[in-house]
Amino acid sequence: MWFFQRIFWLCLLAAGLQAQPVQTDFHERPLNEALLDLKDRYDLQFSFNDKLLARCLVSDTGVYEDPEQAIETLLKPCRLAYRLNGSVFVIYPVKRSKRAKNRSPALHIFNGQIIDWSDGEPLPFATIQCLGTGMIADVHGNFSYRSPDTTVRIKISHIGYGLLDTVIVAGSMHQIGLTAAATGLREVLVLSDSVVHKTHLGNSPGLIKVNHKISTFLPGNRDQVIFNLLRLQPGILAAGEQTEDFMIWGSYKGQTLILFDGITLFHNSGYFGNIGVVNPLIVKDIEVMKGGYHVHMGDRLGGVVNISGRSGDPERFGANLTINNLTSSGYVNLPLTDRITVQGSFRKTYYNLYNWQEGILPFDRKKVETFPSDYSFADVNGKISGH
């Protein structure tokens, strides 16, 4: 008899626990944390995907007759349901019907091109951030984005240029110009201190983007050899005293692939160490891949130096003339149509300008024989760009 009495009281106790009122007071709280709070206060048991429930924020304040009503109310806005497996509430997502899946909102297309505001030159591989999504423009500065909204806010950045935060509208081709930014640096006082080891790993290890606009501020003249600029970057060492020899991550000469607009340069020698094989006036972008590049770059053991030439401005005429103590150089941009541009550049040394004839030095009155140099250098670059 005592056995049946004990069973009767246990059933009454279980019925009382199941019918206990439940109070909720949540405001913008993750669903997984809300269920754990109910578990601690009312001794409930749950089984759910923690990452799935953490994505949904719930807000509810009220008193319910039993836990099932409270749990059903919390799960409904998150498109979740439950089933009881014994005394355990098993949470699972509600499957949408095929008709609901086909009712996806219409997507609007946003197209644009990133250019230099001063000369209209497209800026390749600019970084674009739109609604929390990051993307990179192509070699011509073009990008495309799809969104259900008709207007989106984007942030555009490129090395050597200021950050641009703007809003664009769907349905038209936008031409967005960036302005070159120069920042003056103050004097830095370096003091000795304990060594702190820090490691910074980017998303693309072994990749260097060289700002070609800083070549103007380097010592020397405007005939800078771009490989001299590369030798100042980390991971690239000089191989000897000559300007054309350098090593990337310990590779030997000839093991590094040098591309100019997709064309392989088999040598990078300069003229008297001052004039390089590539005219810096037609260089738009320099990308150095020290390791981890794709197989389409070629079977090389060293790095890859990818040089991109200017694409030209199809809307307006432009010219640039530079004269220094060694050469005169120039660049001309001539638009033929609204889609075709012709570019040309030249460099020429002053022929025999520094020749000394046989004569007498004024300070010692001794006759000195000199050997006049016979040198001349000139090169011309031409390029036709079309879209």
pLDDT digits (tens, 9 = 90+) for 202-258: 466 778 877 666 655 555 445 556 777 777 777 787 766 655 667 787 787 778 888
Average of per-residue pLDDT across 332-342: 91
Residue of 223 and 30 predicted with greater confidence: 30
For the cut 70, the answer to whether the pLDDT of residue 6 exceeds it is no
Residue 311 has, within 13 A of its CA and on its CB side, a CA count of 21
Cα separation, 71 vs 87, in Å, equals: 14
Residues 306-329 have a mean pLDDT of 86
Q: pLDDT tens digits for 181-204?
A: 877 888 988 887 665 544 334 466
Residue environment code for 137-161, b if the CB has 16+ CB neighbours within 10 A, otherwise e: bebbbbbebebeeeebebebebbbb
Distance CA 277, CA 254 (A): 16
Q: Is the model's pLDDT at 3 over the cut of 80?
A: no
The pLDDT score that the predictor gives to residue 11 is 53
Q: Is the per-residue pLDDT at 386 higher than 90?
A: no
- Give yes or no for residue 27 having a pLDDT over 60: yes
Winning range, highest mean pLDDT, from 91-105, 325-339, 361-375: 325-339
Q: What is the pLDDT of residue 75?
A: 87
pLDDT value at residue 225: 67
Q: Percent of the chain having pLDDT more than 70? A: 76
Q: Which of 71-85, 100-114, 265-279: highest mean pLDDT?
A: 71-85
| Residue 282 near residue 318, CB atoms below 8 Å | no
pLDDT, residue 198, reads 42
Task: Answer yes or no: is pLDDT of 142 > 90.
Answer: yes
Average pLDDT over residues 326-348: 89
Residue 373's pLDDT band, with cuts at 50, 70 and 90, is low
pLDDT at 101 over 60: no
Q: What is the mean pLDDT of residues 143-160?
A: 90
Q: Please give the structure tokens belonging to residue 45.
A: 């048991």
Summary mean pLDDT of the chain = 78
